[in-house]
Amino acid sequence: MASTNPGNKSTRFFSPHPHSHTQCTRTHQIAALALIVGTFFLTRLFDHSLSSCTSPYRNSFSDPNQYIAPDDVVRFEGSGGYGTHLSLRIYVYDEDEIEGLKLLLYGREGKISADACVKGQWGTQVKIHRLLLQSTFRTKKKEEADLFFVPSYVKCVRMMGGLSDKEINQTYVKVLSQMPYFRLSGGRNHVFVFPSGAGAHLFKSWATYLNRSIILTPEGDRTDKRDTTAFNTWKDIIIPGNVDDGMTAHKSRLVDPLPLSRRKYLANYLGRAQGKAGRLQLIDLAKQYPDKLESPELKFSGPEKLGRTEYFQHLRNAKFCLAPRGESSWTLRFYESFFVECVPVLLSDQAELPFQNIVDYAQISIKWPSTRIGTQLLDYLESIPDKYIEDMIAKGRRVRCLWVYSPESESCSAFRGILWELQKKVRKFHNSAETFWLHNGSIVNRDLVEFSKWKTPMPLP
């Protein structure tokens, strides 16, 4: 309460003009009420505008007819994307720059061509290299690079007999020992492509030398028999498999999709058994229900060899394309199915999928437990109305550009998605156990030799 002492100048808590105070209070109450009402409607309006901008993959499946795909379904920038803009400098090692690098590209005799390696399941190793060489984000100055790309077609080279496993291991170690910047960062800013189910295990000593490097691979599961994996979700990047160029072209595709009404089968599985339980179960299921599930015996050699066109003609003839795991968890069939507009059903529990920042796979595919392959799976697929299938196909049609290794000028492509993922891996600072720094910012090694004077070959971190 205010003091009664007239000499006391403390603040008064009551107004000396009660009528004026009442009028002011009523005005404030009216203004506050108006503010609340205005805020309510503005919030509703803002929420509505936000919902209309939300990625279509977040929509509920409760009513597929409500789905309206915007022109820019795949958004790399802005809200719901990766960031505001790409700002990336990548140095690509030249094949003549490092002794031994040509062996990883063309084999010991140099007879394996890039054109031979760009075809087939592992062609991403060549495509990414070629795209980076033409990229506007490529720099020819090591000192300004954010990342360093080490080209290698080692999976192809190994499959074609160009190098043995022992030679691959020895060559990688020799190549890395000649890269001062690899030593400087402990490999943290160096990028490698391992495009098969074996992943980085093609380099037997990966755990010693590449355990800090960025690995681009379609494989996120363990790939050897010892329950270990070369994939680390915090540093590595899952990339799409290499779908046949004849299907990813904008025009003149090998085959065109069929209307649902013309598809003969509910589902199909096109692949070899490879002694894998899930695949064997699907092949057996197809024998029990040949009118629902197609699983033809595939011939990959001889007069009955299945050609590219015939393969995709089979694939397009079902509503659902079943994609079980093989030697490893990833399967190219998952990506191929989008180009014949067949809904992929993933039967690989540990599979990793690319670009999860911008793609909600629950809207464009189905994942079913591999432990429940049987009649229950067919019954479930048969229960799905065609309108839901059409909706998933429509959404998949708009996102499949992410599986295409086209130039960065394309607004939506696998390469552009990889660039955005790589940008997330860029560090301002690299702390290697074999790198030291002084008060003036100079970088030295354990012997206090400045970085510019490091000589190769060097012991690797």
Q: Render pLDDT for 344-358 as a digit per residue (tens, 0 to 9).
A: 999 999 999 999 989
pLDDT at 125 over 70: yes
State mean pLDDT over 274-295: 94
What domains can be seen in the chain, in order of their start residue?
90-242+423-429 (no CATH), 245-404 (3.40.50.2000)
Confidence of residue 78 (pLDDT cuts 50, 70, 90): low
CA–CA distance, 337 with 315 (Å, rounded to integer): 7
pLDDT of residue 46: 40
State mean pLDDT over 278-287: 95
pLDDT at 316 over 80: yes
Phi first, then psi: give them for residue 338, nearest 5 degrees: -65, -25
State mean pLDDT over 336-365: 95
pLDDT of residue 183: 94
pLDDT of residue 133: 98
State mean pLDDT over 49-53: 37
pLDDT at 12 over 70: no
SS (H, E, C) the chain: CCCCCCCCCCCCCCCCCHHHHHHHHHHHHHHHHHHHHHHHHHHHHHHHHHHHHCCHHHCCCCCHHHCCCCCCCCCCECCCCCECCCCCCEEECCCCCCCCHHHHHHCCCCCCCHHHHCCCCCCHHHHHHHHHHCCCCEECCHHHCCEEECCCCHHHHHHCCCCCHHHHHHHHHHHHCCCHHHHHHCCCCEEEECCCCCHHHHCCCHHHHCCCCEEEECCCCCCCCCCCCCCCCCCCEECCCCCCHHHHCCCCCCCCCCCHHHCCEEEECCCCCCCCHHHHHHHHHHHHCCCCEECCCCCCCCCCCCCHHHHHHHHCCEEEEEEECCCCCCCHHHHHHHHCCCEEEEECCCCCCCCCCCCCHHHCCEECCHHHCCHHHHHHHHCCCHHHHHHHHHHHHHHHHHHCCCCCCCCCCHHHHHHHHHHCCCCCCCCCCCCEECCCCCEECCCCCEHHHCCCCCCCC
What percent of the chain is modeled with pLDDT above 70? 81
pLDDT at 448 over 50: yes
What percent of the chain is modeled with pLDDT above 90? 66
State mean pLDDT over 9-30: 44
CA–CA distance, 360 with 131 (Å, rounded to integer): 27
pLDDT in tens, 414-446: 999 999 999 999 999 888 888 999 999 999 999
State mean pLDDT over 206-225: 86
State mean pLDDT over 45-74: 38
Confidence of residue 326 (pLDDT cuts 50, 70, 90): confident
pLDDT at 248 over 70: yes
Q: Are 405 and 411 in contact, with CB atoms under 8 Å apart? A: no
pLDDT at 49 over 90: no
Contacts of 343 (CB under 8 A, 6+ apart): 319, 320, 321, 337, 364, 365, 366, 389, 392, 393, 396
Confidence of residue 85 (pLDDT cuts 50, 70, 90): confident
Radius of gyration of the chain (CA): 29
Output the six-digit token pair for 181. 């910047």
Confidence of residue 7 (pLDDT cuts 50, 70, 90): very low
Average pLDDT of the residues of the chain: 84
pLDDT of residue 9: 38
pLDDT of residue 239: 97
Q: Would you tell me how many other CB atoms lie within 10 Å of the CB of residue 422?
A: 20
pLDDT of residue 33: 57
N- to C-terminal Cα separation, the chain: 74
Confidence of residue 365 (pLDDT cuts 50, 70, 90): very high
Confidence of residue 224 (pLDDT cuts 50, 70, 90): low
pLDDT of residue 156: 95
Q: Are 297 and 325 in contact, with CB atoms under 8 Å apart? A: no
pLDDT of residue 363: 95
Q: Any idea what DSSP says for residue 433?
A: T
pLDDT at 404 over 60: yes
pLDDT of residue 31: 58
Q: Would you tell me how many other CB atoms lie within 10 Å of the CB of residue 121?
A: 18
pLDDT at 48 over 70: no
Confidence of residue 242 (pLDDT cuts 50, 70, 90): very high
pLDDT at 108 over 80: yes
pTM score, two decimals?
0.82
pLDDT of residue 225: 58
The counts of H helices and E strands in the chain are: 15, 13
Helices assigned H by DSSP within 188-237: 206-209
pLDDT of residue 3: 40
pLDDT of residue 272: 86
pLDDT of residue 304: 73
Q: Would you tell me how many other CB atoms lie within 10 Å of the CB of residue 167?
A: 16
State mean pLDDT over 180-185: 95
CA–CA distance, 228 with 140 (Å, rounded to integer): 36
Confidence of residue 34 (pLDDT cuts 50, 70, 90): low
Alpha-carbon distances, residue 40 vs 36, 51, 80, 116, 458 (angstroms): 6, 16, 25, 63, 66
pLDDT at 63 over 50: no
pLDDT of residue 29: 57
pLDDT of residue 286: 96
